[in-house]
Amino acid sequence: MGKFIDFDQAPHQERGSGIRVAPITGAEGRNMAAELITVARGAKLESSVPSGSDRHLFVLSGEALLDAPALRGKTMSSGAFASLQEDTAFTVTGKATESRLLSVTAPPPGTRSAARGFRQGVRVVSIHEVPAVDVPQSRKKRVFLATRDTIGSERAHGMIVKYRQDTETTMHMHPDAESLFVFLEGRTRVTVNGTAHTAGFGQAAFFPCGDRHSLHGVDAAGSSFLEFHIPGVYTTVR
């Protein structure tokens, strides 16, 4: 079954001084492991990417410093998206204010995948600088972040999707991929297990393989969300 998540109500666990982590996918995630990470000012998260996996970090709010062997002292502000290669050790340090990051590991630790992985060490882009691709027939725009074309990996398909008020993605499912939607700007109506939720910043929806869902625009000014499908090569059935 799918699930709707409110970050403020998610159970957080301390992972060191100034570091709190809340699971998003939890035990339901077979293809991905997604977490919400809160880093206090001056706190330092030390972590690594599991063998056989790609890891993606997205800054939801605040500002943090990313350090890795291939990248030193990279400041990541809200909207920054980082992809990290397997077996890469890294640290994230909170800067002037508390920062909240989404972490997505594909596939989860200890899970092997035959899909081709990311091989560029560390790559950081801002969603505000990557051009959006217009999809007029669907009344939406897409900003591609982690795809076979952008980072050379087939382990995940990650993008920002921008809706108009009249955008509608009708009920469908992906029999061979898990899906995660993290809502950013405006409001989007998402159907989870037959129940419609009007979602905004600080909320997310997760769907296992084969779980049916739909999305609809709500606001006249439009809305946007971060969308993951894992693995990155998948099918859509309506």
Q: Render pLDDT for 186-197 as a digit per residue (tens, 0 to 9).
A: 999 999 999 999
Residues 34 and 113 in one domain: yes
112 and 201 both lie in a single domain: no
Residue 177 near residue 229 (C-beta atoms within 8 A): yes
126, 156, 179 - which closes a domain = 126
CATH at 13:
2.60.120.10
Evaluate whether residue 2 is within a structural domain: no
One domain, residues 67 and 105: yes
User: Which whole-number Å values give the CA distances from 175 to 50, 60, 214, 227, in the listed order?
Assistant: 26, 29, 15, 17
Separation between Cα atoms, residue 196 and residue 143, nearest integer Å: 25
The burial of 119, by beta-carbon neighbours within 10 Å (0-12 exposed, 13-18 middle, 19 or more buried), is given as exposed
Judgement on whether residues 13 and 116 belong to the same structural domain of the protein: yes
- Domain boundary (126, 153, 178) is at 126
- 235 in any annotated domain: no
Q: What integer pLDDT is reported at residue 234 of this predicted model?
A: 96
Q: How many domains does the chain have?
A: 2
Residues 15 and 111 in one domain: yes
> Residue 221 belongs to what domain range?
133-230
In a domain, 237, yes or no: no
**What mean pLDDT value characterizes the chain?**
97
Average pLDDT over residues 52-77: 96
| pLDDT higher than 90, residue 59 | yes
Given a cut of 90, is residue 154 above it in pLDDT? yes
140 plus 114 within the same structural domain: no
* 141 in the same domain as 80: no
Cα gap 35→126, rounded to integer Å: 20
Q: State which H helix or E strand residue 149 sits in.
A: helix 148-151
Q: Is residue 236, in this structure, part of any structural domain at all?
A: no
Same domain, 139 and 117: no
Same domain? For 41 and 145 the reply is no
The predicted pLDDT at position 150 comes to 97
Domain shared by 54 and 83, yes or no: yes
Q: Residues 201-223: pLDDT tens digits?
A: 999 999 999 999 999 999 999 99
